Structure formats: C-alpha cells, structure tokens
Amino acid sequence: MKEISDFTIIERRQHGPHYFTLVLRHSHLTPLLPTMPGQFVEVRVDGQPGVMLRRPISVHDVDPEAGTLSLLVQVVGQGTRRLSQLAVGEKINLVYPLGHGFTSDLRSPTSALLVGGGAGIAPLLYLAKVLKARGVRCTILLGGRTAELIPVRDEFRPYGEVCIATDDGSLGHKGLVVSHPAFAEQYDIIYTCGPTPMMKAVARSAAERGIRCEVSLENMMACGVGACLCCVTDTDQGHRCVCKDGPVFDITNMKKWYAN
C-alpha cells in the first residue's frame, strides 16, 4: 500500500554545509504506513518552478511510536537546495513507501556489514536499527572523500561498530572503504548503498568471497512506481525498474551490473 500525503516538518538538523535532516510527522496525525529499511519516498518540490519531477529520497529513520519519518538529504541541485530552505512547521508532500527494501528479517545470530558512501549512508541507519533489534551484530563502514562528507556517523553508534574511511585521511582509515581492514573480515551478509563504483567494488569482493550481498541503486527516477521506465537497469534476468523491483537488489542476479 502506498499513499500521497502531506507531512509537517517537526525538526530540521544541519550537518555541515552539504547535508541536512528533516524529521516529519503526518500532517493529519495518521499512523505511518509500515515502511521497510531501504524503501524510499518521492518528495514534491514546491516553490521551485524549474523542478517538475518529484525527487526520490531514502527513508533514513522511522520512529513508529513518535509517528515520525526522517530524511537525510545532500544538497546537489535545485530540488535538494529548495528542500534545504524549508523550515520547521512547513509542509512537504510525499508519496511513500516506495520500492523493495533490504532483507532485514535475518535469523540471529548473524553478522552484517553495512557499507555506505555519500548520501548512500541515508538508508543504512534504519537498517542498522532494525537489524540490531533482531540481534544481528552490525559493523557499519562509512566512506567519503573527507570527514565533512560523512554526516550523522554518531547516529549509527548505538547499533554497531562504526568504521570510517576517508580518501584524504581526515578521519579514520585513509583510502577507499574496500581497503578498510573491517571490509576484509567475514560476514553473513553485506549491504551497500552509495556511489556506483563503490557498490560495484563491494559487490565484486562479496561475490568472490561467497558472501551474500544486497546493493541499493540510485538511478535517475521520475514516476517512482514503475510506469515511465526511465530508471531501468540491466540485470542477469533482463531489464528491471530500480524504483519498483529495487532499489535494493541481491547481487546473485547482478553479475552483468557489477562485472563492468
């Protein structure tokens, strides 16, 4: 089930110059629809005439008791800049929950590695929270060019061991996430979201080591519900809509995608 609803911004947090969090509550105080980690919303960008299409943004966190849903957004263009100007009390229109999320109903005890880069960190917080509640031991490996491009890293600490890799060595391990010592350890499953080259490197390594792996793709999207076909990706089983069949895919059928 999906719905189109107005939400009210009840909190706004800025994380340096590039990222911000919006905490949202249903404007009609309707209970939130069940939302799985890795699912996303399509945000209508009002007041910006150049931005026609809704923007896909991952569900960053859900608090069912408080009835809130959070989005972590990186400012990259007109749409996200406009969203960054919204203040507490203003309304935002969402279509949600969309897509097929991460597999989070693992039987414990299980170990999981969550690898995030850039705005791809966003869906991993709610995933870590759900996995921890299920007794899964999580290692959370976050990467970015510099420390300031790895926002909200402290929010992950209650849910597992947090490891950081930066290209310039400004925080944690110097180098790519796949060169971090934590990446070489054995896990039952690896989840990843971030820049495509990073996810492909993670997927290739997981495949070589026989570790189950799920990737969350961030293809350009328009409708978000499988109608326009603008988000298709080539898989071993043919073309798939990232918005409807994904954004999360098990790499078992993604050799074509990660091999190149």
**Site for ligand FAD, rule CB under 6 A:** 40, 51, 53, 55-58, 72-74, 76-80, 119, 122, 218-221, 247
Question: Which residue, 190 or 248, has its beta carbon nearer to ligand FAD?
Answer: 248
DSSP string, the chain: --EEEEEEEEEEEEETTTEEEEEEEETT-PPPPP--TT-EEEE--TT-TT--S-EEEE--EEETTTTEEEEEEE--SHHHHHHHT--TT-EEEEEEEESB-----PPSS-EEEEEEEGGGGHHHHHHHHHHHHTT-EEEEEEEESSGGGSTTGGGGGGGSEEEEEETTSSSSEES-GGGSGGGGS--SEEEEES-HHHHHHHHHHHHHHT-EEEEE-----SSSSSSS-TTEEEETTEEEETTTT-BEEEGGG-HHHHH-
Q: Does residue 49 contact residue 74 with C-beta atoms inside 8 Å?
A: no
Q: How far is the CB of 58 from ligand FAD (least distance, A)?
A: 3
Q: Is 243 in the site for ligand FES (CB under 6 A)?
A: yes
Binding-site size, ligand FES (CB under 6 A): 12
- For residues 26-56, one letter each, b for 16 or more C-beta atoms within 10 angstroms of the residue's C-beta and e for the rest, the string is beeeeebeebbbbbbbbbbbeeeeebebbbb
Question: Which residue, 119 or 241, has its beta carbon nearer to ligand FAD?
Answer: 119
**122 interface partner picked from ligand FAD, ligand FES, none, CB below 5 to 8 A per type:** ligand FAD
Q: How far is the CB of 89 from ligand FAD (least distance, A)?
A: 22
**111 interface partner picked from ligand FES, ligand FAD, none, CB below 5 to 8 A per type:** none
Q: Is 10 in the site for ligand FES (CB under 6 A)?
A: no
Question: Which residue, 214 or 245, has its beta carbon nearer to ligand FES?
Answer: 245
**129 interface partner picked from ligand FAD, ligand FES, none, CB below 5 to 8 A per type:** none
Q: How far is the CB of 226 from ligand FES (least distance, A)?
A: 5
Question: Which residue, 115 or 243, has its beta carbon nearer to ligand FES?
Answer: 243
Q: Scanning residues 194 to 233, which ones bind ligand FES (CB under 6 A)?
A: 221-224, 226-231
Q: Is 178 in the site for ligand FES (CB under 6 A)?
A: no
Question: Which residue, 78 or 110, has its beta carbon nearer to ligand FAD?
Answer: 78
Give the interface with ligand FES as residue ranges (CB under 6 A). 221-224, 226-231, 241, 243
